[in-house]
Amino acid sequence: MSDLTYLSLKDVTLAYGKSVAVDRLNLDITRGELIALLGPSGCGKTTTMRAITGLMRPAAGRITLDGADITYLPANKRQVGLVFQSYALFPHLNVFENVAFGLRLKKLGGKALETKVDGGLDLVGLSHLADRKPAELSGGQQQRVALARSLVMDPKVLLLDEPLSNLDARLRLEMRTELQRVQRESGVTMVFVTHDQSEALALADRIVVMKDGYIEQLGTPEDVYDRPSTRFVADFVGFENIFPMENGKLKTADGEVPLSPGTPVDGTVKGLAWRPSKVALGTGPFSGIVKGSSFAGHAREYLLDSALGPIKAEQPVPHDAYDIGDRIAFDLAPDHAARLTRME
């Protein structure tokens, strides 16, 4: 834990009865950071959020926030905000009262309350809908109310569970920018959950990639996108050619294949992965027969059958197309590979 750590999860284990949903999770977050929890459905993202809010008690481990141990602090004392995936607005209260709910519990009233709620509604651009009931709002508007309701509490950390997944594609992009703006303006430390890698890459300062209840990789969007460190992450961000390494050689269906010359690969590397766009076509020590070819706008994609197994390759578009059945040479340069330290 560094001096800058604001929210910290230390060996946090979370279980539903006997089944462990999150296993010894470690995560340090700096003040003002925007963190994305990225991973497929069921990997423990919501569960982790619930533990940070206090809705769920860890089976083991510690959670600290702003220098205080909050592991056993009840949810209503934590000053952690959560925007639910389903928004969880109060159906019987109008927009104003929804946003005012937590403030009233803080015994805020009169002018002070009004100013605060108006400020919150302003921030999300909903001042004109203060009298509406949640049922009279669109999904995007409900989302904004939920956001304002959490923000006016000045939480130390604001958690958002799949904030964009219930919105249609156009609104999703709009809300993305909106979230970024709100985070910039309020400076609040934010953790949001998503199963969409493009969302995580576009928004987050750092990404936590999760799988089956543990962290696969933690890093900047560039780290995750360009330098995935495990097979799972590589696959998740589009490295479609993945090979295990053995004795410094690629292990393929046809036995071990020596690497083409390039940067030496050290012993901790258990596998190499290439994006289709990093497979050099036309020259190289390997060859394959074109089995499939499809146009993808910016590029043409090929499926090759080679001694290494099936290879996915891509060529930028102003380029002579290969035909199905052609035998073409290709190269997998170690320089362009992601080095994977875990292959399971």
Ligand X SMILES: Nc1ncnc2c1ncn2[C@@H]1O[C@H](COP(=O)(O)OP(=O)(O)O)[C@@H](O)[C@H]1O
Asked if 48 interacts with Mg ion (CB under 5 A), we say no
| Spatial distance between the Cα atoms of 114 and 91, rounded to a whole number of angstroms | 20
Does 73 bind other proteins (CB under 8 A)? Our answer is no
Give the residue closest to Mg ion by C-beta.
Answer: 46
Q: Residue 16 or residue 72: which is nearer to ligand X going by CB?
A: 16
User: Are residues 90 and 142 in contact, defined by beta-carbon separation less than 8 angstroms?
Assistant: no
Residue 119 lies near other proteins (rule: CB under 8 A): no
Minimum CB distance to other proteins, residue 191 (Å): 14
Query: Dmax of the chain from CA atoms?
Result: 78
Stretch that binds ligand X, among 42-50, 226-234, 288-296, 322-330 (CB under 6 A): 42-50
In the complex, least distance from residue 173 CB atom to Mg ion, rounded to whole angstroms: 21
**How far is the CA of 39 from the CAs of 44, 207, 210, in angstroms?**
8, 10, 5
Interface residue with Mg ion among 46, 142, 183, 229 (CB under 5 A) is: 46
CB-based contact 221:207 (threshold 8 Å): yes
Among 6, 26, 31, 55, binds other proteins (CB under 8 A): 55
Q: Smallest distance, Å, CB 141 to Mg ion?
A: 22
Answer whether 140's CB lies under 8 Å from 171's CB: yes
In angstroms, give the least distance from the CB of 80 to other proteins.
Answer: 7
Residue among 44 and 81 whose Cβ is closer to ligand X: 44
Residue 43 interacts with ligand X (CB under 6 A): yes or no: yes
Residue with structure tokens 């921030």? 123
Nearest to 294 by CA among 277, 318, 319, 314: 314
Query: Of 6 and 84, which has the nearer Cβ to ligand X?
Result: 84
What DSSP letter does each residue of 306-337 carry, written as one string?
Answer: ETTEEEEEEEESSSPPPPTT-EEEEE--GGGS
* Structure-block tokens of residue 194: 């998503």
* Segment lying near ligand X (by CB under 6 A), choices 40-48, 232-240, 242-250, 269-277: 40-48
What tokens does 28 get? 């340090």
Site for other proteins in 160-199 (CB under 8 A): none
- Cross-strand partners of 10: 62
Q: How far is CA 16 from CA 21, 56, 58, 159, 214, in A?
A: 7, 9, 10, 21, 15
Per-residue contact string for residues 121-160; x = within reach of other proteins by CB under 8 A: ----------------------------x---x-------
Quick check: 82 binds other proteins (CB under 8 A)? yes
Positions that interact with other proteins (CB under 8 A): 53-55, 75-78, 80-82, 84, 86, 88-92, 101-102, 105-106, 149, 153
Positions that interact with Mg ion (CB under 5 A): 46
